[in-house]
Amino acid sequence: MSLAAKLPWTHRFAGGYGGIGSQPLPTDADAIDYLSRMATADGAGVETGVAVAVDAFFRGLKATPGLFDAIKASCILCGARTLNGALVPMAGAAPANNNFISDDYTRGGATPGLKGNGSNKRLSQANPATPLQNSAHQAIYLSANSAFAAPSEATHIAEWPTSGTAGRTQITTNTSQTFTRCRETTGSYLGSTSVGVIGISRSDPADYVRRVGQASETITETSTGTPEQVVYVFNNSSGSYSDARLAFYSIGESLDLEALDEAVSTLVTAIGAAV
């Protein structure tokens, strides 16, 4: 079935994607493929504004050299009409859903995304995102932060080694702090947190970049190993479940976090306006 056949009937007429000639059809082949797979999972196509935002997102990622190709596994956890559609991957394999239900998903508005419960809900991303010790990233879009106060913490995304702590990679927050590791043991606290994109990216054995609240800093932590290649979203594979709401996550090789932040933030804002 073609993309047009899966879209709402008002989008099928000649003269433009919106049916009135005001907005063009998506042109990026990868965006069209993603929208088609999402429509199959949802049972219907998305609104014009959502499709246009997704198309612009894919084209924007590709405008920065290496950015799109560095994303090895990712889900846009907003925009889709259903939870099934939201779990269609934009890159890599689909995650396994552990205990999330439709009521946990909000497709748009001020705080879109999938909401954890802090106890037993997580996604298992079994795709081997990257086996590299010194080229890695994780990123999330935090729509609503954890309600856990210090010293309690919620882990939003994590990748552990098979045993021990060497090579741990994670993004964790509570109401007042952000904690990250990137292929190392110790980890680093930031005495603040922020909704929006939080990301880590390592391209050097001696340090990595952390981005929180649209600001980047270099964290001097030597890499100590590679993780297991199973990435958990809303959990760290054990007890630190997230109760936050996430609208996006990505895993892969090192990349430009500022460019990713701009692209993802623009996407989430555009989807929020469209639905």
53 and 83: one domain?
no
144 and 169: one domain?
yes
| Torsion (CA) 201, 55, 116, 199 in degrees, nearest 10 | 10
Whether 264 is in a domain gets the answer: no
Whether 269 is in a domain gets the answer: no
State the average pLDDT over residues 91-107: 97
CATH number assigned to the domain comprising residue 169: 2.60.120.200
96 and 118: one domain?
yes
116 and 225: one domain?
yes
41 and 105: one domain?
no
Whether 275 is in a domain gets the answer: no
Give the residue from 42, 63, 84 where a domain finishes.
63
81 and 140: one domain?
yes
Whether 201 is in a domain gets the answer: yes
Whether 35 is in a domain gets the answer: yes
Beta strands 245-252 and 136-144 are: antiparallel
11 and 77: one domain?
no
> Range of 39's domain?
1-63
Q: Note the pLDDT of residue 8.
A: 47
Whether 95 is in a domain gets the answer: yes
User: Chain-wide mean pLDDT for the chain?
Assistant: 90
At 145-175, the pLDDT tens digits run 999 998 899 999 999 988 888 999 999 999 9
Q: Note the pLDDT of residue 23.
A: 53
What are the C-alpha distances in Å from 26 to residues 48, 169, 193?
Answer: 10, 35, 35
Q: Is the dihedral of CA 16, 22, 24, 26 positive or negative?
A: negative
- Which amino acid, 173? T
Question: Are the CB atoms for 16 and 229 separated by under 8 Å?
Answer: no
Whether 262 is in a domain gets the answer: no
55 and 78: one domain?
no
Q: Name which of 55-64, 97-106, 121-130, 166-175 the model is least confident about.
A: 121-130
224 and 203: one domain?
yes
How many domains, in total, are found in the chain? 2
Quickly state the pLDDT bin for 228 (edges 50, 70, 90).
confident
117 and 252: one domain?
yes
Whether 273 is in a domain gets the answer: no
110 and 226: one domain?
yes
Instruction: Report pTM.
Output: 0.92
97 and 170: one domain?
yes
With a cut of 70, say whether residue 107 has pLDDT above it.
yes
